[in-house]
Amino acid sequence: MSPVAQKGEGLVSNLNSFHLIQTCLHSKARAGELLTPHGTVPTPVFLPVGSQGAIKTLTPEEVKDVGIAMVLANTYHLYLRPGIGVIEKMGGLHKFMSWDRAILTDSGGYQIFSLAPLRRVNDEGVIFRSHIDGSQHHITPELIIQFQETLGADIIMALDECPAYDDSFEKVQMAMDRTHRWAERCQKAQKHHGQALYAIVQGGVFPQLRRQSAEYLTSLEFPGYAIGGLSIGEPKKVTQAMIDETVALLPESKPRYLMGVGSPEDIIEAVARGIDMFDSALPTRVARNGALFTWQGRHNIRNAAYSQMEQPIVPDCDCYACHNFSAAYLHHLFSCDELLAYRLATIHNLSFISNLMAKIRDAILNGTFLSFKDSFLANYQSTDEQTRLSQKQKWLKSRNLRR
């Protein structure tokens, strides 16, 4: 028996909808299409993070060339710089950043709540001080929707409260309840229904809260659902358990978006659990530090072993970096702190992720996803769990110190 179940749902006419094509019978992996005003996006899909309206070091054409169909921009950052009014005057976010494909804007909830010493939260909204100049701002769910409608993104996110990984049950429950109330207010505030408004399931690492959040938010009939508050310091097994708890209660006919996850091994595990959409700054951030994705794992191009390697870092990779340059040349650029190093490494990592998503989708469609998953994970050496958590904490600490 083929491990693929044909869904047979006819293509819908709504410009912001989800079309489920096939589901793997022996896992929850799915292939589908997001229909947006700026094109059809095949799923599963990875969204590179362009918080400021740009993917760091790359032009929009370079982002397209590696196969990216949708990017993420951040409402919090764009609100502070250059300002929502400036972008509106320039014709909206698509025109402002010269990107004619789909855009998802995050509400900025995670960024605001990571400013712990600089913000105060209550049921009305959040009062925070800018990490740029210390100016004070008051954000409400209604304003977040107004800002995102003005930006003109294809998919917009409700404002949520993201608790810390180690918060108590009581604190996480309070944040979850507030997230639910804010989701309702966002839904009521929405005026431009050509944009798809997604709700964000919270609940920390507590299974009963994850289930409660999923049940409550799905009762409100949003066009899509995100899973937030994960991959912020918890072990991977906990992340995967929370995905399982949540996905079981999300409607099959709507897209499922796992926020903040971008390592190849985590993506493939989450796809197997029924996730359709991903975003993360990880591929571009580690690229600028010299960590390049290969089918065997992440390799540090700064290592001396690459100083005389004539082949590209991934010999069969067709990205611009691998097609034109040797690993030795990239090693040289990083050794000299040449800016081209960051561009080439970013092109490679995004190309790798784009190719991975295409291979995953093809495997789902032709009924070989489980064998593809097993083969990939058998060959891919993941970053050691303790090292990964340590690196994550160092990154969070350095970011907070800059703020």
The pLDDT of residue 131 is 87
The pLDDT of residue 204 is 97
Instruction: Report the distance separating Cα 348 and Cα 361, nearest Å.
Output: 20
Question: Parallel, antiparallel, or unpaired for β 102-106 and 70-74?
Answer: parallel
Which residues pair with residue 42 across a beta bridge? 33
The pLDDT of residue 33 is 98
The pLDDT of residue 4 is 36
Quick check: 225 and 218 in contact, CB under 8 A?
yes
Query: In the chain, which residues fall in CATH 3.20.20.105?
Result: 44-287
Write out the catalytic residue numbers.
Answer: 106, 279
Tell me the C-alpha to C-alpha distance, in Å, between residue 29 and each of 44, 67, 148: 9, 21, 30
The pLDDT of residue 11 is 34
Residue 255 CA, chain-centre distance (Å), reads: 13
pLDDT digits (tens, 9 = 90+) for 58-67: 999 999 999 9
b or e along 44-61 (b: 16 or more beta carbons within 10 Å of the residue's beta carbon)? bbbbbbbbebbbbbbebe
* Structural fold of domain 44-287: TIM Barrel (3.20.20)
Instruction: Report the distance separating Cα 206 and Cα 392, nearest Å.
Output: 22
* pLDDT-flagged residues of the chain (< 70): 1-14, 385-403
pLDDT digits (tens, 9 = 90+) for 243-296: 999 999 999 999 999 999 999 999 999 999 999 999 999 999 999 999 999 999
Instruction: Report the distance separating Cα 150 and Cα 223, nearest Å.
Output: 20
The pLDDT of residue 9 is 36
The pLDDT of residue 115 is 78
